[in-house]
Protein backbone atom coordinates (compact mmCIF):
# COMPACT_ATOMS: atom_id res chain seq x y z
CA UNK A 1 0.00 0.00 0.00
CA UNK A 2 1.45 3.40 -0.89
CA UNK A 3 1.72 6.18 1.68
CA UNK A 4 -1.30 8.17 0.48
CA UNK A 5 -3.56 5.10 0.46
CA UNK A 6 -2.19 4.09 3.88
CA UNK A 7 -2.92 7.45 5.48
CA UNK A 8 -6.38 7.79 3.89
CA UNK A 9 -7.33 4.26 4.96
CA UNK A 10 -5.98 4.64 8.50
CA UNK A 11 -7.78 7.95 9.05
CA UNK A 12 -11.07 6.58 7.76
CA UNK A 13 -10.81 3.25 9.61
CA UNK A 14 -9.99 4.77 13.01
CA UNK A 15 -12.88 4.02 15.37
CA UNK A 16 -13.66 4.37 19.02
CA UNK A 17 -13.24 0.79 20.25
CA UNK A 18 -14.50 0.28 23.81
CA UNK A 19 -13.14 -2.01 26.57
CA UNK A 20 -16.00 -4.58 26.39
CA UNK A 21 -14.82 -5.16 22.78
CA UNK A 22 -11.26 -6.10 23.84
CA UNK A 23 -10.18 -9.76 23.90
CA UNK A 24 -8.01 -9.67 27.04
CA UNK A 25 -4.67 -9.96 25.21
CA UNK A 26 -1.82 -7.75 26.41
CA UNK A 27 -0.49 -5.36 23.76
CA UNK A 28 3.25 -5.72 23.05
CA UNK A 29 5.44 -3.17 24.83
CA UNK A 30 6.99 -2.00 21.52
CA UNK A 31 3.56 -1.15 20.12
CA UNK A 32 2.63 0.93 23.18
CA UNK A 33 5.99 2.66 22.95
CA UNK A 34 5.42 3.49 19.26
CA UNK A 35 1.95 4.86 20.05
CA UNK A 36 3.54 7.16 22.67
CA UNK A 37 6.50 8.06 20.43
CA UNK A 38 4.13 9.19 17.67
CA UNK A 39 2.28 11.41 20.16
CA UNK A 40 5.50 13.40 20.59
CA UNK A 41 5.42 14.43 16.92
CA UNK A 42 2.24 16.47 17.26
CA UNK A 43 2.50 20.20 16.55
CA UNK A 44 2.44 22.81 19.33
CA UNK A 45 2.56 26.61 19.20
CA UNK A 46 5.91 27.93 20.50
CA UNK A 47 6.92 24.28 20.75
CA UNK A 48 5.57 24.00 24.28
CA UNK A 49 4.99 20.26 23.73
CA UNK A 50 2.28 20.38 26.39
CA UNK A 51 1.56 16.62 26.53
CA UNK A 52 2.67 13.99 28.99
CA UNK A 53 1.35 10.54 29.77
CA UNK A 54 0.88 8.13 32.66
CA UNK A 55 0.59 4.54 31.52
CA UNK A 56 -1.41 1.96 33.49
CA UNK A 57 -0.91 -1.74 32.81
CA UNK A 58 -0.84 -5.01 34.75
CA UNK A 59 -1.39 -4.50 38.51
CA UNK A 60 -1.85 -0.72 38.26
CA UNK A 61 -5.04 -1.28 36.23
CA UNK A 62 -6.57 -2.59 39.46
CA UNK A 63 -5.79 0.73 41.19
CA UNK A 64 -7.43 2.64 38.32
CA UNK A 65 -10.47 0.36 38.48
CA UNK A 66 -10.83 0.92 42.24
CA UNK A 67 -10.28 4.66 41.93
CA UNK A 68 -12.75 5.19 39.06
CA UNK A 69 -15.57 3.13 40.59
CA UNK A 70 -15.04 4.67 44.04
CA UNK A 71 -15.07 8.14 42.50
CA UNK A 72 -18.36 7.39 40.76
CA UNK A 73 -19.93 6.11 43.99
CA UNK A 74 -18.67 9.01 46.10
CA UNK A 75 -19.71 11.71 43.60
CA UNK A 76 -23.09 10.48 42.39
CA UNK A 77 -26.21 11.52 44.30
CA UNK A 78 -27.93 8.43 45.70
CA UNK A 79 -31.05 8.91 43.52
CA UNK A 80 -28.89 8.98 40.37
CA UNK A 81 -26.58 6.11 41.33
CA UNK A 82 -26.74 3.12 38.98
CA UNK A 83 -25.30 -0.24 40.07
CA UNK A 84 -24.91 -1.10 36.36
CA UNK A 85 -22.84 2.01 35.67
CA UNK A 86 -20.78 1.36 38.81
CA UNK A 87 -19.94 -2.18 37.65
CA UNK A 88 -19.25 -0.98 34.09
CA UNK A 89 -16.89 1.71 35.41
CA UNK A 90 -15.11 -0.83 37.62
CA UNK A 91 -14.65 -3.29 34.74
CA UNK A 92 -13.34 -0.86 32.11
CA UNK A 93 -9.71 -0.72 33.24
CA UNK A 94 -9.66 -4.46 33.93
CA UNK A 95 -10.91 -5.25 30.41
CA UNK A 96 -8.10 -3.11 28.97
CA UNK A 97 -4.53 -4.01 28.15
CA UNK A 98 -3.27 -0.51 28.90
CA UNK A 99 -4.83 2.81 29.90
CA UNK A 100 -2.97 6.03 29.18
CA UNK A 101 -3.81 9.15 31.19
CA UNK A 102 -3.57 12.17 28.88
CA UNK A 103 -1.99 15.09 30.70
CA UNK A 104 -1.75 18.71 29.54
CA UNK A 105 1.15 20.72 30.92
CA UNK A 106 0.23 24.40 30.81
CA UNK A 107 2.63 27.14 29.74
CA UNK A 108 0.37 30.02 30.75
CA UNK A 109 2.99 32.71 30.11
CA UNK A 110 3.50 31.58 26.53
CA UNK A 111 0.23 30.58 24.87
CA UNK A 112 -3.53 30.54 25.59
CA UNK A 113 -5.01 27.38 27.07
CA UNK A 114 -7.03 26.49 23.96
CA UNK A 115 -3.83 26.17 21.95
CA UNK A 116 -2.41 23.68 24.41
CA UNK A 117 -5.66 21.70 24.54
CA UNK A 118 -5.57 21.64 20.73
CA UNK A 119 -1.93 20.49 20.71
CA UNK A 120 -2.71 17.66 23.15
CA UNK A 121 -5.68 16.67 20.98
CA UNK A 122 -3.31 16.46 17.98
CA UNK A 123 -1.06 14.18 20.05
CA UNK A 124 -4.04 11.99 20.96
CA UNK A 125 -5.07 11.72 17.30
CA UNK A 126 -1.51 10.59 16.45
CA UNK A 127 -1.84 7.90 19.13
CA UNK A 128 -5.27 6.83 17.96
CA UNK A 129 -4.19 6.57 14.31
CA UNK A 130 -1.07 4.63 15.31
CA UNK A 131 -3.21 2.22 17.34
CA UNK A 132 -5.44 1.75 14.27
CA UNK A 133 -2.44 1.01 12.05
CA UNK A 134 -1.24 -1.67 14.53
CA UNK A 135 -4.67 -3.31 14.85
CA UNK A 136 -5.08 -2.01 18.39
CA UNK A 137 -8.50 -0.85 19.59
CA UNK A 138 -8.55 2.46 21.45
CA UNK A 139 -10.79 5.27 22.55
CA UNK A 140 -10.46 8.64 24.22
CA UNK A 141 -12.61 8.78 27.31
CA UNK A 142 -13.28 11.98 29.23
CA UNK A 143 -15.13 10.92 32.40
CA UNK A 144 -15.33 13.18 35.44
CA UNK A 145 -13.18 10.80 37.48
CA UNK A 146 -10.34 11.51 35.03
CA UNK A 147 -10.90 15.25 34.63
CA UNK A 148 -11.05 15.63 38.44
CA UNK A 149 -8.34 13.06 39.08
CA UNK A 150 -5.48 15.43 40.04
CA UNK A 151 -4.75 13.60 43.30
CA UNK A 152 -5.01 10.10 41.86
CA UNK A 153 -2.76 10.99 38.92
CA UNK A 154 -0.44 12.91 41.23
CA UNK A 155 -0.56 16.06 39.09
CA UNK A 156 1.32 19.28 39.66
CA UNK A 157 -0.52 22.63 39.68
CA UNK A 158 0.33 23.38 36.02
CA UNK A 159 -1.02 20.01 34.86
CA UNK A 160 -4.55 18.91 33.90
CA UNK A 161 -5.85 15.49 32.97
CA UNK A 162 -7.74 15.67 29.64
CA UNK A 163 -9.01 12.12 29.80
CA UNK A 164 -7.90 8.55 29.34
CA UNK A 165 -7.04 6.45 26.34
CA UNK A 166 -8.27 2.89 26.87
CA UNK A 167 -6.45 0.31 24.72
CA UNK A 168 -6.89 -3.37 23.94
CA UNK A 169 -6.82 -5.91 21.12
CA UNK A 170 -10.30 -6.00 19.56
CA UNK A 171 -12.23 -9.28 19.45
CA UNK A 172 -12.53 -10.80 15.97
CA UNK A 173 -15.36 -9.86 13.66
CA UNK A 174 -16.27 -6.42 15.02
CA UNK A 175 -18.26 -4.34 12.60
CA UNK A 176 -18.56 -0.59 12.90
CA UNK A 177 -21.10 1.74 11.41
CA UNK A 178 -19.52 5.13 10.98
CA UNK A 179 -20.90 8.10 9.15
CA UNK A 180 -19.85 11.67 8.61
CA UNK A 181 -21.68 14.63 7.15
CA UNK A 182 -20.55 15.20 3.55
CA UNK A 183 -17.85 17.66 2.56
CA UNK A 184 -20.37 20.04 0.93
CA UNK A 185 -21.95 20.67 4.35
CA UNK A 186 -18.64 21.54 5.96
CA UNK A 187 -16.76 23.49 3.33
CA UNK A 188 -17.33 26.82 1.66
CA UNK A 189 -15.05 27.35 -1.31
CA UNK A 190 -14.37 31.07 -1.65
C1 LIG B 1 -12.21 14.83 23.27
C2 LIG B 1 -12.98 13.56 23.16
C3 LIG B 1 -13.56 13.01 24.29
C4 LIG B 1 -14.30 11.82 24.22
N5 LIG B 1 -14.88 11.32 25.35
C6 LIG B 1 -15.64 10.22 25.27
C7 LIG B 1 -16.27 9.69 26.42
O8 LIG B 1 -16.11 10.21 27.53
N9 LIG B 1 -17.06 8.61 26.27
C10 LIG B 1 -17.25 8.00 25.05
O11 LIG B 1 -17.99 7.02 24.98
N12 LIG B 1 -16.61 8.45 23.95
C13 LIG B 1 -15.82 9.53 24.02
N14 LIG B 1 -15.16 9.99 22.91
C15 LIG B 1 -15.20 9.18 21.66
C16 LIG B 1 -16.33 9.63 20.75
O17 LIG B 1 -17.57 9.28 21.31
C18 LIG B 1 -16.14 8.98 19.38
O19 LIG B 1 -14.90 9.36 18.87
C20 LIG B 1 -17.28 9.41 18.44
O21 LIG B 1 -18.47 8.75 18.80
C22 LIG B 1 -17.03 9.12 16.97
O23 LIG B 1 -16.81 7.73 16.77
P24 LIG B 1 -15.48 7.25 16.04
O25 LIG B 1 -14.32 7.73 16.89
O26 LIG B 1 -15.58 5.75 16.03
O27 LIG B 1 -15.46 7.83 14.67
C28 LIG B 1 -14.43 11.16 22.96
C29 LIG B 1 -13.83 11.72 21.82
C30 LIG B 1 -13.11 12.90 21.91
C31 LIG B 1 -12.47 13.47 20.67
Residue 143, ligand 1, Cβ within 6 A: yes
Encode pLDDT of 112-165 as tens digits: 999 999 999 999 999 999 999 999 999 999 999 999 999 999 999 999 999 999
CATH fold of 16-186: NADH Oxidase (3.40.109)
Q: What is the pLDDT of residues 19-62, one digit of tens each?
A: 999 999 999 999 999 999 999 999 999 999 999 999 999 999 99
Q: For the chain, give every domain's residue range.
A: 16-186
Distance CA 178, CA 16 (A): 10
pLDDT-derived band of residue 178, with 50, 70 and 90 as boundaries?
very high
Counts of helices then strands in the chain (DSSP H, E): 7, 4
Is any ligand 1 atom within 6 A of the Cβ of residue 15? yes
Q: Is 74 in the pocket of ligand 1 (CB under 6 A)?
A: no
Q: What is the dihedral of CA 20, 25, 28, 33, to 10 degrees?
A: 20
CA atoms of 22 and 137, how far apart (whole Å):
7
Residue 57 Cβ inside 6 Å of ligand 1? The answer reads no
Collapsing DSSP to helix, strand or coil, 166 comes out as: strand
Nearest CA to ligand 1 atom 6: 141
Of 122, 112, 108, 118, nearest in space to 159 by CA? 108
The CA 14 to ligand 1 mean position distance, Å, reads 11
- Is pTM beyond 0.95? Reply is yes
| Any atom of ligand 1 within 6 Å of the Cβ of 88 | no
Amino acid sequence: MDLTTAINTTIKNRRAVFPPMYNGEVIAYDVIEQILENALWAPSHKQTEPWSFKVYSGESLKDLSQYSSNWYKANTPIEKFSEKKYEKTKKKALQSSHVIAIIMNRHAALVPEWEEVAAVACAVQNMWLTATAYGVGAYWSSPKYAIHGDDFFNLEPHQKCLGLMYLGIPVDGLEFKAERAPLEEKVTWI
